[in-house]
Amino acid sequence: MNLNIDYTPLPGQYSFHTDPSRIKLYSGGVGSGKTLAGSIESLALALECGGDGLICAPTWSILKRVTLRAFLEILPRQFIREEHKQERRITLMNGSNIWYGSTDQPYTLEGVNLAWFWCDEARYTSKESFEILLARLRCPRASKHSGILTSTPSMGYLYDEFGSRLNEKRGLTIASTSENHHLPQSFIDDLKESYSESLYASYVDGQFVQLTGGVFPNFDSNLHVCNLIHNPQVAVDVAIDFGYRRPAAIFFQYFPYCHEHQTEHCIHCLDELTPDNTPTSKLSKMCKAHMMRHHWIRGTAYVDPAGAAKSPVVGWSDIDVMESDLWKCTFNYSPTLRHIPHGIEMIRKKLKNMAGRTSLYFHKRLLGNKRGIIRAIQLTEYPERRGELSEKPNKDGIYDHSLDALRYAVVNLEPGTGAKVL
């Protein structure tokens, strides 16, 4: 069957179609042609893969009104052998089946072996559903297996899988609404008037950004994440947030003046540990071993002052444990410096101050930790209470430990803090 459709792809659509990646995402703004591109790509896969495929969307309503409707509009009727609406299946003349359904109930995706799938509006599909879709790409008679996603971007699993660029096997196409020359200029102008800068970057330019309510809107992975080089002449410090269930330790170097970035009081975060169910006695030794393994000069441990409290059970504190392993611990009892909003503002200032200078950087290896400091900065939000955003970030028990550890380092390293060194 020859596919002969009147279709001239936009630049983003063309890049998406020519991307050879097995799993790929079309991250586009509103009106950038995501659904049409997904429909064309799905039809091509149905004709060439030699196996069954699945078209899905977050809800049945979205699937019926948008996704499936767009696909049926470009599917030539002569290609259809039969339709089974009750089974939610279309059988083509080449014998392949196209199933369709929603992803809001992941268990409904089980049981069928696929050659390909298309997930539209993937930002509203759960990570669990996405992983089930990946597991279904195992049709034995398929000539190839492929998974395509179309969506406006989000900082959840879509960023992990595609936006972070950690998985080189994932394909990413970013398309702006402005590429679509079929849209009137007034449409773009109205979006500029209606959207904030961050919302415009996401919903129009198709970029992965943190939206309203984010604690660190000035974080930019292209600026703040790089291949930092360890300076063997400078000690490596560690910032620690104690806690048995999910403690966090961030290893960094501090430069009173950084020649690499030409700025003062610069912090280079080199690595981190985020173990589960780890007492301080074990965490302390893990940090020591990590230092020795990398041949780093051991510096200071910046810790929570609450770690000085003696345990009524064993009679010693977390800081006592650290000292027994010959750590030099630094902390501060100042109510101002311990005030969380103050510490958050100091981190924001280091990401970029009003003069446009940055003095906080992260090694690119930290991108791989889904419970680490970069994820914390990207995903931490202010909770909304009674219609207003709180001044304190969410304490979610996942990301806040890494963020607290970084805060202890930042507030104690600023000049004139009067930090207490043990």
Higher pLDDT, 236 or 88: 236
Three-class DSSP category at 26? strand
- Per-residue H/E/C for 332-392: CCCHHHHCHHHHHHHHHHHHCCCCCCCCEEEEHHHHHCCCCHHHHHHHCECCEECCEECCC
Provide the number of structural domains found in the chain: 2
Core vs surface per residue 363-400: b (16+ CB within 10 A) or e: beebbebebbbbbbbbbbbbeeeeeeeeeebbeeebbb
Residues 288 and 368 in one domain: yes
Radius of gyration of the chain (CA): 26
CA distance 100 to 97: 10
**pLDDT the model gives residue 164:** 74
Q: pLDDT tens, 210-249?
A: 655 567 878 888 899 999 999 999 999 999 999 889 999 9
Are 28 and 152 a contacting pair, CB within 8 Å? Answer: yes
Domain that holds residue 356: 221-421
pLDDT over 50 (residue 32): yes
CA distance 147 to 128: 15
User: What is the model's pTM?
Assistant: 0.62
Residues 27 and 175 in one domain: yes
Residue 181: inside a domain: yes
Q: pLDDT tens, 114-158?
A: 999 999 999 989 888 999 999 999 998 888 999 999 998 877 788
Residues 182 and 225 in one domain: no
Give the position of tokens 């101002």. 336
Residue-level length of the chain: 422
Residue 216: inside a domain: no
CATH number at residue 164: 3.40.50.300
Q: Which of 154, 170, 203 is the last residue of a domain?
A: 203
Tokens found for residue 45: 């896969």
